[in-house]
Amino acid sequence: MKLAIIGSGKIVHDFLTIIKDLKKTELSAIIGTERSVDVLQQLSSEYHINEVYTDFDQALEQGDFDTVYVAVPNFLHYAFAKKALEHGKNVISEKPFTVKYEEFESLKKIALEKKLVLVEAITNQYLQNYLDLKQKVSELGDLKVIESNYSQYSSRYDAFKAGKVLPAFDPKKGGGALMDLNIYNIHFIVGLLGRPQKVSYLPNIEREIDTSGILTLDYGKTKAVAIGAKDSTSPVVETIIQGNKGSIVVNGPTNEMPSFNVFDKDKQLIEKVDHNIYPHRMYQEFVEFEKIIEENDLATVKIKLQHSEDVMWVVKHALASAQLKLE
């Protein structure tokens, strides 16, 4: 794919470290703001990105790319993705897909009508450990309880406490713990069980934003809890799946899925699984995106969009249950 990146922040720097291994990706353009033009130029020269733009309209008119990677703060995903699709570009959007469910629906409609690829960059859905875990859960019998915790004290929380509100903590920019870290837990759980019957969110709110919170997902015979925290953490950040015949413990956060252990119902270790094929968590998703885009594999896109839609449904109802308003 001929890729244009929008943004030059933390995740773009991270992503660019794997670009040398993405053999089917040509970096065509990077797009950002006037205030970050030095960073854009520096990334362009370091990673041999042909074109630099500070105006997305101009990039769409003049740029030589077929796919856009939307890596800007959450509240901007929708506008950039919509414009890109309307100009006939495939879109890879960072998580969360959009802030509002209706925005996601609108993007989906345009992409399907125009037969374009539209996918969410959500690492865990593509990691081999997660794909293997999906097979292994059938060995646990009836699933009873899932507890998924992704807590990571954020350096941006210190800035927030000091009075500086960065997008990750800004309710007007789709920030907060649910949209940031807990979204991985939601993807993890929904990827296993689909759309729940009911959800409820219990957030810790500071200055109108959830700095941490506990989400419950009710599947009838299975109950799940998703914990996301940007204001606290602990040495144990893991996910536990309990069935009546055994359990699985994921040894680490749900964005990386570093490894997992399978236990029988007597708590004896049966198997340790660590099959991720590349150390960087973003590699597998982008290899898959390269393939989907090369083949214009719209059947896979539809499956991925259904999953993202179920996640967006959970987010919508979680926010409503806590009367949290994100713009």
Ligand X SMILES: NC(=O)c1ccc[n+]([C@@H]2O[C@H](COP(=O)([O-])OP(=O)(O)OC[C@H]3O[C@@H](n4cnc5c(N)ncnc54)[C@H](OP(=O)(O)O)[C@@H]3O)[C@@H](O)[C@H]2O)c1
Q: Which stretch binds ligand X (CB under 6 A): 67-75, 112-120, 189-197, 200-208?
A: 67-75
Nearer of residues 76 and 324 to ligand X, judged by Cβ: 76
Check binding of 85 to ligand X (CB under 6 A).
no
For residues 24 and 46, give the distance between their C-alpha atoms in angstroms, rounded to a whole number: 19
Looking at the DSSP bridge assignments, the partners of residue 151 are 229
Residue 47 and residue 28 in contact, taking contact as beta carbons nearer than 8 Å: no
Check binding of 71 to ligand X (CB under 6 A).
yes
Check binding of 95 to ligand X (CB under 6 A).
yes
Check binding of 32 to ligand X (CB under 6 A).
yes
Check binding of 284 to ligand X (CB under 6 A).
no
Check binding of 98 to ligand X (CB under 6 A).
no
For residues 83 and 110, give the distance between their C-alpha atoms in angstroms, rounded to a whole number: 10
Q: How far is the CB of 49 from ligand X (least distance, A)?
A: 14
Residue partners of 268: CB distance under 8 A and separation at least 6: none
Nearer of residues 89 and 247 to ligand X, judged by Cβ: 89
For residues 84 and 98, give the distance between their C-alpha atoms in angstroms, rounded to a whole number: 14
Check binding of 103 to ligand X (CB under 6 A).
no
Contact string (CB under 6 A) for ligand X, positions 229-268, x = contact: ----------------------------------------
Residue 124 and residue 255 in contact, taking contact as beta carbons nearer than 8 Å: yes
Looking at the DSSP bridge assignments, the partners of residue 225 are 147, 216
Among 17, 33, 42, 232, binds ligand X (CB under 6 A): 33
User: How many residues of this chain bind ligand X (CB under 6 A)?
Assistant: 20
For residues 156 and 168, give the distance between their C-alpha atoms in angstroms, rounded to a whole number: 7
Nearer of residues 230 and 317 to ligand X, judged by Cβ: 230
Contact string (CB under 6 A) for ligand X, positions 172-201, x = contact: --------x---------------------
Check binding of 73 to ligand X (CB under 6 A).
yes
Among 28, 67, 74, 129, binds ligand X (CB under 6 A): 74
Three-class SS state of 12 = helix
H helices of the chain, in order, are: 10-16, 37-46, 56-62, 77-86, 101-114, 128-136, 155-161, 177-180, 182-193, 283-294, 298-321
Nearest-CB residue to ligand X? 9
H helices of 87-196, in order, are: 101-114, 128-136, 155-161, 177-180, 182-193
Check binding of 6 to ligand X (CB under 6 A).
yes
Residues at the interface with ligand X (CB under 6 A):
6-12, 32-33, 35-36, 71-74, 76, 94-95, 167, 180
